[in-house]
Structure 1
């Protein structure tokens, strides 16, 4: 009876996915991209998004080198796919992608889209002007959210510039209050500005609720 033939079955290396960035779903690509680069670097896999497959030649088949590249490429590609949302995983899970080509395709698509969003965010921030019939505090939060979008695009504004920009965007009825803030001695932080706006808005709301004769008396007291 013939002896059974022993066949060695290669075991895929186990990769610890601890610390993998939150799944990318189509927004804030640059942030995800940088975190993914850090993760790949920590795992010694950064070259999988930098180096293409070695090409054999007639004199050098590079069998061992190609085998090593293939193993690392599968690990890197699997890690990148694991850091995508389910929707994007379904789009990019094709075996036709290597780790590098998958990385390059994501960069081509989402970096280009983000550049358009960056320009839109800058324009929206610059053009934003508060209106009279809405809460100034709420509109201030909207401006701060626009600044957060700029910060995500590596265009973070200095706090002093942001504070003065918000003051300049006050509605017309707040112009005198804005001038008072501008002439205030000492540095006005963003937190200080938010507190001042909340107090001023509360005061205005209470004044509007007063009977007319009480408003007149309150104005007289302020002038005195």
Structure 2
């Protein structure tokens, strides 16, 4: 706003007092000079009001002259500047680097805070800035921080940033080399565990029965040798053991009684004569 008023040749009205006519100066020339000054002061005052936000316009529109308006704004923003200085110092002291972010980007954020501190008139030596950056490095850089602390040669901020950039590039390259092998090993390990725990699938009613019993068991469809029943094995038969042995003996005697002995003898004789005929 000050630059804009200078280009309009109105900046002098920010510091000049309002002219007044004395009793002996009631001539036309003096009156026209006062009117011209009031007109220029009116323009200067309204240029400043036009540059304010709507909320501030309602506060400062009651000021009668450009000088009074400018001094009110100056007091307001000087108070804010004093608070800004304290705020910047607090930001600088509370700033801490984290392992989850790149170090170079965090150093650039700290440089912006230092730049704002210098802009507010608070000067810090370059050696102090280098020491502050080193001290605020993240915990994972503890060894490199101790290495920089023990260096006797003085460094400026640019040299420190170059060293940090080289160190960060080396760490990133090492991380890329070791990460794929670990990932493959994890994939193989998880795959083996998955295959070991994997169970065959079943469908339909069998899967439902298997889910209820815990394990699937195929139903027996053959004949029981104990009771000639169908649908269970002899080992699962509910009849006692003696009854099963008696049934076996009865089955054998029943089969023997049903054999036709005459037919067996005639068949044996026939086979014997055929074998003798082949020998002759």
Q: Provide the TM-score with structure 1 as the length reference.
A: 0.63
Structure 2 counterpart of 1:69, from 37, 56, 60: 37
| Superposed displacement of residue 190, structure 1 | 1.8
Report if the CA contact (8 A) 2:88-2:113 is conserved. Answer: yes
Aligned length: 178
Once the two structures are TM-superposed, the CA of residue 95 in structure 1 deviates from its matched residue by 7.7
SS of 1:210's equivalent in the other structure is: helix
Deviation at 1:54, TM superposition (A): 2.2
After superposition, where does 1:147-162 map in structure 2 within 5 Å?
A: 147-162=114-129
1:145, distance to aligned residue in structure 2 (A): 1.5
- After TM superposition, list the pairs within 5 Å mapping 1:207-222 onto structure 2: 207-211=174-178
Checking the alignment, whether the CA contact within 8 Å between 1:132 and 1:172 is kept in structure 2 is yes
CA RMSD, 1 decimal: 3.3
CA shift at 1:186, angstroms? Answer: 4.2
Deviates more, 1:158-167 or 1:65-74: 65-74
Name structure 2 gaps, 5 residues minimum. 182-280
Structure with more contact order per residue of length (Cα contacts < 8 Å, sep ≥ 6): 1
Q: Does the CA-based 8 Å contact 1:130-1:169 persist in structure 2?
A: yes
Q: Which residue is equivalent to 1:198?
A: 165
Indicate the residue corresponding to 1:5 in structure 2. Answer: none
| Distance in structure 1 (CA, Å) of the matches to 2:64 and 2:85 | 29
Within the alignment, does 1:170 sit opposite 2:137 as a pair? Answer: yes
Contact 1:121 1:150 (8 Å CA) reproduced: yes
Compute the TM-score of the two structures, normalised by the length of structure 2. 0.52
Greater C-alpha Rg: 2
| Distance change in 2, residues 1:42/1:154 (3 Å) | farther
Query: 1:23-172 counterparts in 2 under 5 A?
Result: 36=2, 45-60=10-25, 63-77=31-45, 80=48, 84=51, 94=61, 96-172=63-139
Distance 1:197 1:94, change over 3 A: same
**Uncovered stretches (5+) of structure 1, i.e. residues with no partner:** 1-20, 22-35, 215-224
The whole-number CA distance in structure 2 between the counterparts of 1:154 and 1:160 is 18
